[in-house]
Copies of this chain bind each other. A is one copy, B any other.
């Protein structure tokens, strides 16, 4: 069906080896035959079989990425931006990207890893939303398979990661709320099996403590990072006998949900209640009112972890196996002084 080296060889009257070497730019083929070969390749419309090459070279020039999706209706602007960063960086290095969508900690997720890694479908894996004691990381480490994680894990001092200092991020946000005079500050957390959730929660607690406020379990709720969960949690928080005057939230999507809940209760966000997010997805700047949030450079993160992985795969030395980025607090109108 498709045109192969053999076809060109037959057409020109030369061996397959010579065709391969002519096309490969080796200098042990005469200029005139090279020309003939190039012309024939052009005429016949030759394009090398990537699969055959992969088999021969024993590498795929492909990186694998399993996106953790919660539920069927999955729509997270965070991931589309991360994916763009990863994809563009991969393309820059002529790497392809193999993507799967699986719900976290499911048998399907494990199966996907087996297939990509053990089936040698990819040269390296990108792991995101690391969990404490993450089975994906143990799997990869056990097989000595190249990977880079976005997010730290339990005992991972010998595996490469890039992470954002969520502790400091949330510390800044809560500190900011305290400076605004808030004394009753709630927190909507991410599920605590995610490592970043622990860091951010601790940042919240440390800021409270330093501000002389005491940690109150009643003021901490957990949501699965969706707008809907943020909405529900905020409703419950604002229905308390002594409701909080400020709510820090573990990500922007839930913060948008929290804002909606506040609106629904007739509160003006930024005046009656302060709300902060985390991520700075594009929508955050465009919320109503614009959302005060902790910015992490999502696109850049995608680019960087992809770059790190490719360096590991190609054997280039990595200047740093552990990167912690500092997030920055972005002040907007959703957080105002306490009444």
User: A329 — which chain B residues lie within 8 A by C-beta?
Assistant: none
Contact A96 B80 (CB under 8 A): no
Contact B72 A84 (CB under 8 A): yes
A2 interface residue per 8 A CB criterion: yes
* Chain B: minimal CB distance from A31 (Å): 27
Contact B286 A260 (CB under 8 A): yes
Tell whether A83 pairs with B99 under 8 Å between CB atoms, given A54-B51, A231-B286, A288-B260: yes
* Chain B: minimal CB distance from A58 (Å): 8
A207 interface residue per 8 A CB criterion: no
Contact B299 A72 (CB under 8 A): yes
Contact A51 B55 (CB under 8 A): yes
Contact A282 B227 (CB under 8 A): yes
Contact B100 A87 (CB under 8 A): yes
User: A263 — which chain B residues lie within 8 A by C-beta?
Assistant: 288
User: A96 — which chain B residues lie within 8 A by C-beta?
Assistant: 98, 100, 115, 121
0/1 interface trace, chain A 64-102, chain B, CB 8 Å (1 if under): 000101001111111111011001100100001111111
A30 interface residue per 8 A CB criterion: no
0/1 interface trace, chain A 97-114, chain B, CB 8 Å (1 if under): 111111000001000101
Tell whether A52 pairs with B50 under 8 Å between CB atoms, given A87-B101, A227-B286, A231-B286: no
A283 interface residue per 8 A CB criterion: yes
Contact B88 A81 (CB under 8 A): no
A214 interface residue per 8 A CB criterion: no
Contact A80 B74 (CB under 8 A): yes
Tell whether A228 pairs with B286 under 8 Å between CB atoms, given A80-B76, A91-B100: yes
Within 8 Å by CB of A47, from B80, B84, B118, lies B118
Contact A72 B87 (CB under 8 A): no
User: A287 — which chain B residues lie within 8 A by C-beta?
Assistant: 260
Contact B69 A74 (CB under 8 A): no
Interface residues of A in 38-57 (CB under 8 A from B): 45, 47-52, 54-55
A6 interface residue per 8 A CB criterion: no
Contact B84 A101 (CB under 8 A): yes
User: A260 — which chain B residues lie within 8 A by C-beta?
Assistant: 286-288
A119 interface residue per 8 A CB criterion: yes
User: A108 — which chain B residues lie within 8 A by C-beta?
Assistant: 91
Contact A81 B91 (CB under 8 A): no
Known: A45-B118, A97-B100, A288-B288. 4 other contacts (CB 8 A): A47-B119, A49-B119, A50-B121, A77-B77
Report, nearest first, the 10 A-B pairs whose CB atoms are least far apart.
A87-B101, A47-B118, A50-B119, A75-B81, A74-B84, A75-B77, A99-B99, A80-B80, A51-B54, A227-B286
